[in-house]
Amino acid sequence: MIFASDNWAGAHPAIAENLAAHASGYVSAYGMSELDRKLERRFLEIFEKEVAVFFVGTGTAANSLALASANRPGGVVFCHREAHVHVDECGAPEFFSHGARLCPVDGERGKMDAARLEAEIRRFPPGFVHGGQPMAVTMTQATESGTIYSLDEIETIAAIAQAHNLPLHMDGARFANALVGLGVTPAEMTWKSGIDLLSFGGTKNGCWCAEAVVLFDPAKALEMHFLRKRAAQLFSKSRFVAAQFEAYFAGDLWLDLARHANAMAARLAAGIAASESSRLAWDAEANEVFAIMKREVATGLQRQGAVFYDWHVPHHLAGSLAEDEDLYRLVTSFATKSEDVDRFVAAC
Amino acid sequence: MIFASDNWAGAHPAIAENLAAHASGYVSAYGMSELDRKLERRFLEIFEKEVAVFFVGTGTAANSLALASANRPGGVVFCHREAHVHVDECGAPEFFSHGARLCPVDGERGKMDAARLEAEIRRFPPGFVHGGQPMAVTMTQATESGTIYSLDEIETIAAIAQAHNLPLHMDGARFANALVGLGVTPAEMTWKSGIDLLSFGGTKNGCWCAEAVVLFDPAKALEMHFLRKRAAQLFSKSRFVAAQFEAYFAGDLWLDLARHANAMAARLAAGIAASESSRLAWDAEANEVFAIMKREVATGLQRQGAVFYDWHVPHHLAGSLAEDEDLYRLVTSFATKSEDVDRFVAAC
Amino acid sequence: MIFASDNWAGAHPAIAENLAAHASGYVSAYGMSELDRKLERRFLEIFEKEVAVFFVGTGTAANSLALASANRPGGVVFCHREAHVHVDECGAPEFFSHGARLCPVDGERGKMDAARLEAEIRRFPPGFVHGGQPMAVTMTQATESGTIYSLDEIETIAAIAQAHNLPLHMDGARFANALVGLGVTPAEMTWKSGIDLLSFGGTKNGCWCAEAVVLFDPAKALEMHFLRKRAAQLFSKSRFVAAQFEAYFAGDLWLDLARHANAMAARLAAGIAASESSRLAWDAEANEVFAIMKREVATGLQRQGAVFYDWHVPHHLAGSLAEDEDLYRLVTSFATKSEDVDRFVAAC
Amino acid sequence: MIFASDNWAGAHPAIAENLAAHASGYVSAYGMSELDRKLERRFLEIFEKEVAVFFVGTGTAANSLALASANRPGGVVFCHREAHVHVDECGAPEFFSHGARLCPVDGERGKMDAARLEAEIRRFPPGFVHGGQPMAVTMTQATESGTIYSLDEIETIAAIAQAHNLPLHMDGARFANALVGLGVTPAEMTWKSGIDLLSFGGTKNGCWCAEAVVLFDPAKALEMHFLRKRAAQLFSKSRFVAAQFEAYFAGDLWLDLARHANAMAARLAAGIAASESSRLAWDAEANEVFAIMKREVATGLQRQGAVFYDWHVPHHLAGSLAEDEDLYRLVTSFATKSEDVDRFVAAC
C-alpha cells in the first residue's frame, strides 16, 4: 500500500529490458547516436510538429533549463503557489536563471486563477526597472493537486501570456496522466493550445530517469544545447535515456501506464468517497487523490503498512476540516496494484 | 575497431542485469532508499574512512559541484591546461561557482608541473582584491593524456595546495584505470595523499550513468546536499545509480574492467611501438594511447572502420612530427576486444 | 512642494563643499587613502565597536552585498513583503546571492510580524533539501512605511533569527531618521540589539552617493573585500565617498539633517491630521507621511505643483477608504522647507 | 612626483564646482532628471549617432555590463592577456555574465595580435558544445601598455569579430587619451570603425566617478536598463554623474585634460629617452610611460618621493633587460605638473 509518490516505483519491465538490450555495442556519445536521433524524431511524430528535443536527467533540470531559455535580467516567472518549481526545487529555477524570481499566483486545486495571473503580471509594468520584468509563465499539467487544466483553461492562460509577450511553459512531470485524463493529443495539449516550452516527464510514469525539454520553436534550439551542457545535463551515454524512451513509446506503453495509474486513482477515490470515515478533498482527475481523513484512521492505515503523506491544507479548505481530521495525499503509479487499493479502501 | 572514447561503449552486462533486478518494488525516493544507503556505506569501506558520498549524473556535474563547494568570490581554480574542466565542460565549473575562473597550468603529458602551479598560485597574493583569490586546485587521475600521477606526484601537488590553504580536487573520471595502473588502494590515491574532494567516475568504466562526488571531510556534507539539489542533480529514482554501483563494486568488477581496458591499451601501445609506420607519442599508462601516425595510415584505418580522433599537438612535441604525420588518440574500454586491437595493429 | 522622495533632493552644501575641498592632490586609490582610513575609523567610534566598513555606491548594492555575505545554496532570505529588497531592487539581492529567494513576511505598517516570521522560517526544516534553506533575515529601519522598529521589536526579531542561526541584516537607507526618531545610539539600534549586518545609508539624508556595508563581526571582512570588488562597487577615487561621510558626520550634521526631515514630516502629519478633507493612514514616525486624501484634493495639490505619489493600499487598510479617497505617500528630507509644508497643509 | 596611476588624482576644479552648483533643488531620481537627459543627448552629439547611454559608477561596472549584454551560455570573451578585464577586475566580467570565460589573446605592447585572435576564436567551432561558444571581443583603448590601436587596427579586429558574428567592445577607461592621441573623432574611433559597445570613462581623466556604457545599437537599450539596475549601478541621485559629465564636456574640457596628460607623458618619455641610466621600453602613445630603469635609480627616485610601480616584463622584452634593471610604469594625468616631470627626469 505505497501511495507516497509515483517516484517510489522503479522502472517498468519493458523499459528495464530495453536498457539491457542496448547495453552492448559502440555508439556515438553525447546524444549523437542513431538511437538518440531516432527518439528525437519520435517526439516529432508524437507532437505532429518540428520540435527541438533535449534529454535531461531530472524534472527539475527540465523545468530550470526551459525557464532559463527565457531568461531576462530582473526576470519574474509566474507560477502557481504550490507549483513544484516554487516549493520543491531548492531554488534551481532561480539559480539557472541567474536570480530570476518566482512570483506565486493563487488559484484553487493547484490551478492558477487567470484573473490573478493577469493581476500579478500587471504589477510589473513594461520598462519599469525597479520591480523587475516578467519573463515567463509556467503551469503544471497534471497539477500538483492531481487536477488537470482543460484545453480551454490552457488557452486562457496562454492568451494572457501572449498578450504580455511571455513564453508559456508546461511542467509535464505527469504529462501522460493529464493526456489520458483529458483524452486529447499531445499536440492539442501543448502547442495547439499555446504552450511554447515543455518539460516532458517519463520518470514518474515508469522510466528510471528519462526527462526531456521540448521547444516548440526549434529556432531556439542552438542556445539550449549550450544551456544543457553548461548545466552538466548532457549525458555521455545518452542512449540510456533514449533506450528508455524507445520502450516507453513503443506500442503506446506510456499511455497504457498512465491510464493504469489514473484508473487506480479513480478506484481509490471512489472507495474513499464511499467510506464512512473519510472523504475526498476534491475530485481526483489524474493519479493523485487528496483525501480528508480522521487522523486516527490515517495512523491506523500507516500501522498496517500504508505509506502516504499528510498535506498542507489550502486556504479554500480552511474551516472545512474537523478537529480530528487532516488532509492526505495518495499517489498511484504504473505499478499500483488494485489489491493494494482495495485493501486501503477496506481499512479506511 | 572503436577507439573513439570509452564512453562510446554501453553498460557491462552485470550492471545492466542489476538494474533490471532492482526495477520492481517501491523504495524511498531522492536517495533515501536502503540501496542508496548501502552503497554509500560501500564507499566508506572502499576508501577506509568516513566520507560523504553524493550520486550525480555526469562527470561534469561531479567536477562542478566539487569545485562549487570551495567557492569564493573572485575565486580562481588551478588546473592543467588540457584538463576536462578547462576544455570540455562548456563553462559548467565556472557557472556552478558563480563566475570563478579556471587558471591553466602547463606541464608535460597532461600533468601539472608543480613549480608552475606554485608560480601561478603566487600570482594571486592573499587579500589583493584586483586579481581574484585562489580557491582550489584540481588534477585529473588518470590524466587526459592517458598518464597517471604517482603517489609522490599527488603528494607534491597536495603540499602546494595545503601551503596555500586550498582544497585539492581529483577528477576521477578514469579513477579505476589509474588505481589499477598504480596498484595502490583508493585511500592511498586520495585522502592519504592529500586529496580533499573526488569526482568518482563509473560511467566510462562500464556503467550507464553513475558518478559520485566524494567529500573526504564529511563535515562539509550538509552544504553539498543543497548544492546538488539546486543543481538539479538529485535523482528521484536514485536507486538506479546505486544499483549500477552495486554491480560495479561486486566482486571487484570495477577493478577487473579497468585492468582489461588498461591491458588492451598496453597491447595496442606495444603493437604501435613495434609497427614501422607509427610510434607512440608517449607511454600509455592507463587506457588511452597517443600515437604519431602517418596521416595516410590513419585515413586507411578509418576507411577500414576504425574510429579514433586526431589530437592537438602539445608544445613539447612540436617539431618532432614529420610533415605527413599527425597525433592521434586511441581509447580502450572494458568492452574492447583483443581482436580489434590486433586488427588495428596489423593495419598500422 | 516636492514630497516625491528624499532622493529627489541633491547634496547638503557642507557635503558639496567638502567634496570640492578634497578635489586636489594625489592619494592612494581603491579605498587605501588616509581619508578612507580616517572615515572607517569614524564608523568604529560611531558604533562603539570594531566593525568592518565597506563604502559602496547604492543602497541596493549595500543590501545585496550584505545578504550575499550570508549566501547558501538554495538560500532563503526573510523580509517584509513591502521591503525595498523585495519590491524595488530588480532582483539584485537574488542575483548577487546566485539565485537565493526572498520570502515575504507580512506585518502591519511595514514591520514584519514576529510570529509570522517564525512561521515562515519553520516552513524550511533544517536539512530538507527540496524547499531550500533559510539564509538571513532582513529588516528595514526606518521602514518603507515611515515607521520605526523599537529596540524591543528589533530584539524580538533578532531572537528569532538567532534561534535559527540566521544573520540579521538591517537596511538602513533611512538609518539616521530612525535613530533620531528613537533617540538611541547607533550601537543600541544595531549590534546591541542583535543586528549582524548593516546597510548604512547617507544618500537619502544629504549625500550625493555615500552608502556603506557595516559588518559587526570584522572576522568576515576578508570575503566582503572580494564580494565588493567582484560586484564592481570598489571605487578607484574612493575618497569621494569618504569626503561625503566626513562632512556628514562632522558636528553631527547627519543627525541634524535627519531631525529636520523628521520634524518636517511631523509638521506635515499634524497639518493633515487637522485638515477637514484628509487624514493620516497611520502615525508618521520618521520622514514619511502616509495620508488618506480625497482624490480631487490630491489632484488639486498636484496642479499647484505638489509632487507626491499615490500608494498601494495595504490589506489592513482595505475597506477603510471611501470611494473617492486614495492613499498617498509624502516624503520629507533634509532640504524640505517649512513654507512648503505649510502651503501643502493649507491646500489640503 | 606621483606617477602611480591617473586615478590617484582627484577631480578637476571645474567638475567639482559644477557638482556644487547642482547640489540644491529637487529633480527626478534614478536618471530621469532634465540634467540626465541633457547629458544623454550630449553623447549623441559627441558620437554623431543615436546611441543609448547608461551612467554607472566604475569602469569595472561598465565593462562587465557591456559584456553581459552579449551573454551566452558557455560564452567566451576574447581579450588581450593584459587587459583590465582579465587581470584587474576580480572576476566581475565573469560574474556578471554568469560564468562566461575570458580567453586571453597575446600581442605585443598591449594590443591583441589579429592572427592570434582569429586562431583563438577558431578553437570554438560553432555548435560544438563541449568547449563553449564565442560571445564577444573586447579591446582596450588606450591599452594597458599606453599604446593606441590605430583606426586600421581597430577595423582589422572588427572585421574578425564581425566575421564570427561577435559584438566588439571597447574598454575606454582612457578613451580621451586615445582620441587626442590619434586625432580622430569619437565616431571614427568607435562605431565607424566597427565598435558595438563602449565603456566610456571619465574618472581617470578628471571626474570623481563618471563612467558610461554606450550602446551603438539603441535597440538593445531596454535590456541594459534592467542589467544596470540588477547590478546595483543605477544611482538614485544620478544627476551627480550627469553634472560631472556636463563640466567634463563643456568647452571640450575633456579633450584638453587628455591632451595635457598625454603631453606630460611625452615630456617624461623624452626625458627618459635622453637620460643616461634609463630608456623607454616602447614608445608612449597616450598617458602611460613604460621605462627600463636601473633598480637603484628607481629606488633613489622613490626615496625622493616619486611614486610609481614596477611592472611585469612581457615576453617580447624578456632577455633585453640587464641584471640590475627592471621595468616601470609611469602614469600621467590631467593634474600632472611639468615641474614634477622635470624633477623626475633630472633625477633619472
Q: Which three-class secondary structure state does DSSP give residue D293?
A: strand
Residue D91: list chain B partners with CB under 8 A. Answer: 73-76, 99-101, 132
Q: Do A232 and B92 touch (CB under 8 A)?
A: yes
Angle at C98 (CA atoms; ends C97, C102), nearest 5 degrees:
55
Candidates D68, D73, D225; nearest CB to A223:
D73
Q: Is the pLDDT of residue B70 over 90?
A: yes
DSSP C206-222: T-SS-EEEEESSGGGHH
Residues counted in chain D: 348
Band of residue C277 on the pLDDT scale cut at 50, 70, 90: confident
Spatial separation of the C-alpha atoms in residues C21 and C15, rounded to whole Å: 10
Candidates C90, C102, C130; nearest CB to A130:
C90
Q: Do D88 and B132 touch (CB under 8 A)?
A: no
B153 and B111 Cβ atoms separated by less than 8 Å: yes
Helices A253-274 & A175-182 angle (0-180, nearest 10) = 70
pLDDT of residue A348: 83
Q: Does A237 touch chain B (CB under 8 A)?
A: yes
Residue closest to D93 by CA, chosen among D40, D43, D140: D140
Residue C98: list chain B partners with CB under 8 A. Answer: 98
Spatial separation of the C-alpha atoms in residues A167 and C128, rounded to whole Å: 31
Residues counted in chain C: 348
Say which amino acid occupies D115: A
The CA distance from B240 to the nearest CA of chain C, in Å, is 20
Q: Do B133 and C229 touch (CB under 8 A)?
A: no
What is the mean pLDDT of the segment spanning C273-278? 92
B289-344 pLDDT tens trace: 999 999 999 999 999 999 999 999 988 888 889 999 999 999 999 999 999 999 99
Least confident of A121-130, B39-48, C307-316: C307-316
A192-220 pLDDT tens trace: 999 999 999 999 999 999 999 999 999 99
pLDDT of residue B178: 98
pLDDT of residue B250: 98
pLDDT of residue C280: 97
Q: Does A89 touch chain C (CB under 8 A)?
A: yes
Q: Using CA of residue C303, residue C306, residue C309, residue C315, what is the dihedral sign?
A: negative
pTM: 0.97
Q: Do A94 and C100 touch (CB under 8 A)?
A: yes
Q: What part of C 212-231 touches A (C-beta under 8 Å)?
A: none
Residue B229: list chain C partners with CB under 8 A. Answer: 74, 129-130
What is the mean pLDDT of the segment spanning C149-163? 98
pLDDT of residue B153: 98
Q: Does B73 touch chain C (CB under 8 A)?
A: yes
Quick one: CA torsion of D237, D241, D247, D251, rounded to 10 degrees? -130
Residue closest to D179 by CA, chosen among D244, D187, D85, D246: D187
pLDDT of residue D80: 98
Q: Is the pLDDT of residue C92 over 90?
A: yes
Q: Among B135, B230, B233, which would you mutate to test the C interface (most chain C Cβ atoms within 10 Å of its Cβ)?
A: B230
Q: What part of C 132-151 touches A (C-beta under 8 Å)?
A: 132
Q: Does D234 touch chain A (CB under 8 A)?
A: yes
What is the mean pLDDT of the segment spanning B97-119? 97
Q: Among C2, C5, C7, which would you mutate to test the D interface (most chain D Cβ atoms within 10 Å of its Cβ)?
A: C7
The CA distance from C4 to the nearest CA of chain D, in Å, is 9
pLDDT of residue A316: 82
Cβ-Cβ contacts under 8 Å between B and D: the total is 63
B16-38 pLDDT tens trace: 999 999 999 999 999 999 999 99
Candidates A20, A25, A235; nearest CB to B57:
A235
The CA distance from D304 to the nearest CA of chain B, in Å, is 27
Q: Do C87 and A129 touch (CB under 8 A)?
A: no
Give CA separation, C221 vs B288, C33, C200, C226, D61, in Å.
Answer: 47, 18, 16, 9, 22
Q: Do D73 and B88 touch (CB under 8 A)?
A: no
Residue closest to C223 by CA, chosen among B72, D88, B135, D99: B72
Q: Do A223 and D132 touch (CB under 8 A)?
A: no
Residue D130: list chain B partners with CB under 8 A. Answer: 87-90
Candidates B76, B94, B131; nearest CB to D99:
B94
Q: Is the pLDDT of residue C317 over 90?
A: no
Q: Do D223 and A72 touch (CB under 8 A)?
A: yes
- The domains found in chain A, sorted by start residue, are 13-251 (3.40.640.10), 254-347 (3.90.1150.10)
Neighbours of chain D (3+ CB pairs under 8 A): A, B, C
Spatial separation of the C-alpha atoms in residues A298 and A293, rounded to whole Å: 6
Q: Does D204 touch chain C (CB under 8 A)?
A: yes
Q: Does A88 touch chain C (CB under 8 A)?
A: yes
Q: Is the pLDDT of residue C82 over 90?
A: yes
Q: Does B128 touch chain C (CB under 8 A)?
A: no
Residue closest to D230 by CA, chosen among D53, D51, D54, D36: D54
C323-336 pLDDT tens trace: 999 999 999 999 99
A43 and A70 Cβ atoms separated by less than 8 Å: no
C-alpha cell of B81?
591546461
pLDDT of residue B335: 97
pLDDT of residue B316: 82
Q: Does C4 touch chain D (CB under 8 A)?
A: yes
Q: Does A211 touch chain C (CB under 8 A)?
A: no
Helix (H) or strand (E) holding B2: none
Residue D48 makes CB contacts below 8 A (sequence gap 6+) with D185, D186, D187
pLDDT of residue D316: 82
D220-229 pLDDT tens trace: 999 999 999 9
Residue A228: list chain D partners with CB under 8 A. Answer: 129
Beta strand pairing call for A197-201 and A168-172: parallel
Q: Which residue in chain C is spatially nearest to A312 when comparing CA positions?
A: C123
Spatial separation of the C-alpha atoms in residues A275 and A269, rounded to whole Å: 10
Q: Does B315 touch chain C (CB under 8 A)?
A: no
Q: Name the one residue in this structure whose C-alpha cell is 553498460.
A: B11
Spatial separation of the C-alpha atoms in residues B83 and B118, rounded to whole Å: 17
D241 and D210 Cβ atoms separated by less than 8 Å: yes
Per-residue pLDDT of chain D (348 residues; tens, 9 = 90+): 999 999 999 999 999 999 999 999 999 999 999 999 999 999 999 999 999 999 999 999 999 999 999 999 999 999 999 999 999 999 999 999 999 999 999 999 999 999 999 999 999 999 999 999 999 999 999 999 999 999 999 999 999 999 999 999 999 999 999 999 999 999 999 999 999 999 999 999 999 999 999 999 999 999 999 999 999 999 999 999 999 999 999 999 999 999 999 999 999 999 999 998 899 999 999 999 999 999 999 999 999 999 999 999 988 888 889 999 999 999 999 999 999 999 999 988
Q: Does C41 touch chain B (CB under 8 A)?
A: no
Q: Among D81, D85, D101, which would you mutate to test the B interface (most chain B Cβ atoms within 10 Å of its Cβ)?
A: D101
Q: Do B230 and A29 touch (CB under 8 A)?
A: no
Q: Do B91 and D102 touch (CB under 8 A)?
A: no
Candidates A74, A223, A234; nearest CB to D226:
A74
Q: Is the pLDDT of residue C268 over 90?
A: yes
Candidates B129, B133, B230; nearest CB to C74:
B230
What is the mean pLDDT of the segment spanning C131-149? 98
pLDDT of residue B318: 81
A279 and A233 Cβ atoms separated by less than 8 Å: no
Per-residue pLDDT of chain A (348 residues; tens, 9 = 90+): 999 999 999 999 999 999 999 999 999 999 999 999 999 999 999 999 999 999 999 999 999 999 999 999 999 999 999 999 999 999 999 999 999 999 999 999 999 999 999 999 999 999 999 999 999 999 999 999 999 999 999 999 999 999 999 999 999 999 999 999 999 999 999 999 999 999 999 999 999 999 999 999 999 999 999 999 999 999 999 999 999 999 999 999 999 999 999 999 999 999 999 998 899 999 999 999 999 999 999 999 999 999 999 999 988 888 889 999 999 999 999 999 999 999 999 988
C-alpha cell of C114?
514576529
pLDDT of residue D317: 87
C3-25 pLDDT tens trace: 999 999 999 999 999 999 999 99
Give CA separation, A11 vs A264, B98, C241, in Å.
Answer: 18, 36, 63
Residue D246 makes CB contacts below 8 A (sequence gap 6+) with D18, D35, D38, D39, D42
Residue C10: list chain D partners with CB under 8 A. Answer: 22-27, 237, 239-240
